[in-house]
Amino acid sequence: MKLLHIDSSVLGPHSVSRQVSAAAVERLRQANQRLVVNYRDLSQTPLAHLSGLHLAASQGAAPDPSVRDDIATGQAVLDEFLAADIVVIGAPMYNFTIPSQLKAWIDRILVAGKTFKYGAGGVEGLAGNKRVIIAISRGGYYGADTPMAALEHLETYLRGVFGFIGVRNVEFIPADGIQVGPEHREKAVAGALQAAGNLNAA
C-alpha cells in the first residue's frame, strides 16, 4: 500500500498543519508496517503555476524548452498521486483559502482523462478509489454558525476538488482558532493531534 504525504505550509516547524499531517501519517504507518510513504513538500520545492505554454503543450503543441522540465515534473506529480492508495495533505488557510503552492499541485492532478472525464451524463471522477485525509488549520472560526462562514474557502474548496475527481468521503482533521490566543491554539492543536492519532487504520 502506498501513501502520498503532501505539506504546503510556509511556516516549517512552526506549522500546525504540518504537525497534524505528520501525526496522521505516523498513525497509519504504525498500523501498517508495509506502508510505503512518499513525501512532497510544496513549500521547499514549489511547483510552477500553469502558464499558456503549459496548456498549449497539454493540447498537443511541442513543449517550449522553457517549460519542458516543469512539464516532466508535473507528470511525475500526477503519477505520484495516481499511484497512491492514501493521500494525506497538510493545508493551512491563507487569506480564506488554500496556499498558492497547494493550488499549483492541484492544477497538476486535475487532468482530464486521468482523474476525471466528461461524458454524456456530465463529469465522472476517476480517482474515487483513494482515501484522502486533510489536516487543516485556520486562524479563526469559520463554522456554518459563525459570522465568518461566508469566507470559508479552504475546506469547502478541497471537498469540492476531491469530490470532482470521485473522492466522496474526504476526511478532515481541523485545528481552528489557532490565532485567537495561546489557549485556543493549544486546545486546537491537542484536539487535532488526538484526532490524527485516532484515525481508522483501515
**Residue 180: its H or E element:** none
Query: Could you say which DSSP state residue 149 is in?
Result: G
Read off the pLDDT of residues 143-181 as tens digits, 9 standing for 90 and up: 999 999 999 999 999 999 999 999 988 999 999 999 999
How far from 144 is each of 148, 152, 156, CA to CA, in Å?
A: 8, 9, 11
Determine whether 122 is exposed, middle or buried from the number of CB atoms within 10 Å of its CB (0-12, 13-18, 19+).
Answer: exposed
> pLDDT digit string (tens) for 90-144?
999 999 999 999 999 999 999 999 999 999 989 999 999 999 999 999 999 999 9
Residue 18, helix vs strand vs coil = helix
Query: What pLDDT is stored for residue 201 in this prediction?
Result: 85
How much is the pTM? 0.95
Task: Please give the Cα distance from 130 to 110 (Å, whole number).
Answer: 14
pLDDT for position 8:
98
Residue 64's pLDDT is 85
Does the pLDDT value for residue 202 go beyond 80? Answer: no
pLDDT band at 61 (very low <50, low <70, confident <90, very high): confident
pLDDT digit string, tens, across residues 47-60: 999 899 998 888 88
CA-wise closest residue to 92 among 28, 180, 155: 155
Nearest by Cα to 87 from 143, 8, 141, 150 = 8
137-174 burial, b if ≥16 CB within 10 A, otherwise e?
A: bbbbbbeeeeeeeeebebbebbbebbeebbbeebebbb
